[in-house]
């Protein structure tokens, strides 16, 4: 019999069970981490005298050979293997005979898969997503720097509320992404403990040195409880949750872009290369990219839910249910990569239409708060100022005019504190320029925000480069 566990079994596995059980289709992508982990393990076995040093060296060489053969395409990963761990061990044994069979001493696929997955996420998935997120954040900052003076309406309840600038508005997303990056780094910090050496669940009687293996794999430490090491997937859940928040942020941004490029708003125009047409309506230019991102957000939430549900009633320690972790977390990784790498160039190539933004800001009485504040500055209590301004707005609506155009005589009917200087106080530019409070839309406040964002990004990347890059 060809199976790994041939000793105990007298029949070949049913081919349907074999297919059902197999995870090679989705865990093959971890081959680099699997082989790197096995090299570290074999080296430690040799150093500790658990296997002969000469054999450990042969195994190491054999493993590196397998890695380069997979990389070069010389060795194809067998889709009929049960999983990537079995596949690598099988090839090693084919190539080295009995020596290859010594690799799995003092190890189980349970600690192996938990180690591989953490290692793979830490080195091959998260860094890519991290870089994409940094690029996106920098792109947003770059656009913001061109629009310190582009006045647009700020909204609450999707009703025009108070004037802001386009820079101020989109930097809100840069702040969200900065926190998202921080969350990714937090996840990495906690997944940086190595499960290897927990073996099947209860450690081992061999004199292994887990810290030696962890150091060669560049893990920050080792999991302290062997049962916990092989049986939790909280690191996947935490990551999927961080991914879900990223998607939620992208989705909100996407929703705004969908609105902004509609004729109702026309605040922006997407580049032709990032829009699609209609098969029937010749005039259409659709923001499909942003709509798809909005749609795919649900998919990532689904991955998070898959992982949470998968874990909720599993007794310690390993259970096969947990094999489902990889499809969910890899789908989330792939979806994120796809979404961010399309969103960023779409954003970078869109045309901002400042005149339309300003026209929208000029309607809707978004300077009413400033009108009330004008009266407060002249000594009126805010509530009275609020009421007088409310009546003025009602009067403007009645006359079909704006606060800017209402004659001063009308103003005085509602409060004798009004004077000619009210027009300057309620001009859109004044409204924006005077909102200098920290975090506000005044260009000087936005410039401070941009400097801080850049510094925060630098700090995040410095910390990350030093600690987690291979
Ligand atoms: N392919 C398995 C997984 O992804 C590897 C671990 C198998 N362990 C076991 N005891 N059957 O979870």
Last residue of a domain, one of 48, 76, 105: 105
Give the span between the Cα atoms of 112 and 89, in whole angstroms: 12
22 lines ligand 1 (CB under 6 A): no
**Cα-to-centroid distance, 110 and ligand 1 (Å):** 6
Same domain, 120 and 97: no
Give the span between the Cα atoms of 244 and 180, in whole angstroms: 10
CATH number, domain of 280, equals 1.20.200.10
Local structure of residue 266 (DSSP, 8 states): -
Predicted local confidence at residue 470, as pLDDT: 58
Q: Which pairs with CB-CB distance under 8 Å and at least 24 residues apart come from 380-388?
A: 380/415, 380/417, 385/415, 388/414, 388/415
460 located within any domain: yes
Give the span between the Cα atoms of 124 and 382, in whole angstroms: 57
**Cα-to-centroid distance, 206 and ligand 1 (Å):** 22
322 lines ligand 1 (CB under 6 A): yes
Same domain, 293 and 350: yes
83 lines ligand 1 (CB under 6 A): yes
Question: 343: part of which helix (H) or strand (E)?
Answer: helix 325-349
422 located within any domain: yes
Same domain, 290 and 404: no
Which one of 34, 104, 109 would you pick to mutate in the ligand 1 pocket, going by the greatest count of ligand atoms within 8 A of its CB? 109
Same domain, 301 and 161: yes
216 located within any domain: no
Give the span between the Cα atoms of 247 and 180, in whole angstroms: 10
- 229 touches 198 (CB < 8 A): yes
Same domain, 344 and 385: no
**Cα-to-centroid distance, 112 and ligand 1 (Å):** 9
**Cα-to-centroid distance, 130 and ligand 1 (Å):** 29
Same domain, 31 and 87: yes
Q: Kindly write down the DSSP assignment for every residue of 21-73, as one continuous string.
A: H--HHHHGGGHHHHHHHHHHHHHHHHHTTSS-HHHHHHHHHHHHHHHHHHHHT
Predicted local confidence at residue 3, as pLDDT: 62
CATH number, domain of 81, equals 1.10.275.10
Which regions of 233-278 does DSSP assign to beta strands (E)? 268-269
Same domain, 314 and 412: no
341 lines ligand 1 (CB under 6 A): no
Nearest Cα to 239, choosing from 314, 186, 299, 195? 186
Which one of 116, 323, 324, 329 would you pick to mutate in the ligand 1 pocket, going by the greatest count of ligand atoms within 8 A of its CB? 323
Which one of 3, 4, 83, 114 would you pick to mutate in the ligand 1 pocket, going by the greatest count of ligand atoms within 8 A of its CB? 83
Give the span between the Cα atoms of 85 and 35, in whole angstroms: 8
Give the span between the Cα atoms of 210 and 243, in whole angstroms: 31
Same domain, 407 and 456: no
**Cα-to-centroid distance, 23 and ligand 1 (Å):** 8
Count of structural domains within the chain? 3
- 343 touches 250 (CB < 8 A): yes
| pTM: predicted TM-score of the whole model, two decimal places | 0.94
Give the span between the Cα atoms of 111 and 202, in whole angstroms: 10
Catalytic residue among 54, 68, 262, 278: 278
Same domain, 275 and 342: yes
435 located within any domain: no
9 located within any domain: no
* Residue 157 appears among annotated catalytic residues: yes
Last residue of a domain, one of 105, 134, 168: 105
Cβ neighbours of 273 (radius 10 Å)? 8
* Residue 278 appears among annotated catalytic residues: yes
197 located within any domain: yes
Nearest Cα to 334, choosing from 182, 124, 84, 136? 124
Cα separations (Å) of 68 from 77, 124, 147? 13, 17, 50
* Structural domain range at position 83: 18-105
CATH number, domain of 398, equals 1.10.40.30
Same domain, 349 and 375: no
Give the span between the Cα atoms of 253 and 95, in whole angstroms: 53
The residue ranges of the chain whose pLDDT is under 70 are 1-5, 466, 469-470
3 located within any domain: no
- Residue with the smallest CA separation from ligand 1 atom 12 is 323
The string of pLDDT tens digits covering residues 223-248 is 999 999 999 999 999 999 999 999 99
Same domain, 65 and 157: no
The CA-based angle 199-203-209, given to 5 degrees, is 90
**Cα-to-centroid distance, 416 and ligand 1 (Å):** 80
Last residue of a domain, one of 86, 105, 124: 105
Same domain, 289 and 173: yes
158 located within any domain: yes
State both tokens at 43: 């080296």
């Amino acid at each position: 019999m060809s199976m790994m566990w041939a000793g105990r079994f007298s029949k070949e596995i049913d081919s349907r069970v074999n297919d059902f059980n197999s995870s090679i289709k989705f865990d093959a992508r971890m081959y680099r981490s699997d082989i790197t982990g096995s090299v570290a393990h074999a080296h430690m076995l040799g150093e500790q005298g658990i296997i002969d040093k000469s054999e450990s060296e042969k195994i190491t060489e054999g493993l590196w050979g397998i890695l380069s053969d997979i990389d070069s395409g010389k060795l194809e990963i067998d889709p009929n293997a049960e999983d990537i761990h079995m596949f690598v061990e099988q090839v090693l044994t084919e190539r080295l005979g009995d020596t290859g069979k010594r690799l799995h001493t003092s190890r189980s696929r349970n600690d192996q898969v938990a180690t591989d997955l953490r290692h793979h996420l830490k080195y091959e998935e998260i860094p890519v997503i991290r870089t994409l997120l940094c690029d996106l954040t920098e792109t947003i900052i770059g656009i913001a720097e061109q629009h310190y003076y582009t006045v647009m309406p700020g909204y609450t309840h999707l009703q025009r509320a108070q004037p802001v600038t386009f820079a101020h508005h989109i930097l809100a997303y840069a702040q969200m992404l900065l926190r998202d990056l921080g969350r990714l780094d937090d996840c990495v910090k906690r997944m940086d403990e190595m499960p290897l050496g927990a073996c099947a669940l209860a450690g081992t009687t061999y004199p292994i040195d887990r810290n030696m293996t962890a150091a060669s794999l560049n893990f920050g430490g080792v999991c302290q409880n062997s049962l916990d090491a092989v049986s939790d997937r909280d690191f996947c859940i935490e990551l999927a949750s961080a991914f879900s928040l990223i998607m939620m942020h992208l989705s909100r941004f996407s929703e705004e872009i969908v609105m902004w490029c509609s004729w109702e708003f026309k605040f922006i125009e997407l580049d032709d290369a990032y829009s699609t047409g209609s098969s029937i309506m010749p005039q259409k230019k659709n923001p499909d990219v942003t709509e798809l991102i909005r749609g795919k957000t649900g998919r990532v939430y689904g991955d998070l839910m898959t992982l949470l549900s998968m874990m909720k009633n599993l007794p310690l320690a390993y259970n096969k249910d947990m094999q489902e972790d990889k499809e969910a977390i890899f789908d989330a990784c792939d979806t994120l990569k796809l979404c961010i790498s399309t969103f960023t160039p779409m954003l970078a190539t869109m045309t901002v239409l400042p005149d339309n933004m300003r026209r929208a800001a000029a309607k809707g009485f978004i300077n009413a708060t400033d009108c009330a504040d004008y009266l407060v500055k002249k000594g009126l209590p805010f509530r009275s100022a609020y009421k007088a301004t409310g009546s003025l707005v009602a009067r403007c609506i009645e006359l079909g005019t704006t606060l800017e155009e209402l004659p001063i005589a009308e103003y005085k009917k509602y409060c004798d504190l009004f004077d000619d200087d009210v027009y300057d106080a309620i001009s859109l530019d004044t409204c924006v320029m005077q909102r200098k409070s920290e975090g506000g839309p005044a260009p000087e406040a936005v410039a401070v925000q941009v400097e801080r964002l850049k510094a925060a990004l630098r700090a995040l990347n410095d910390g990350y480069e030093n600690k987690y890059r291979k």
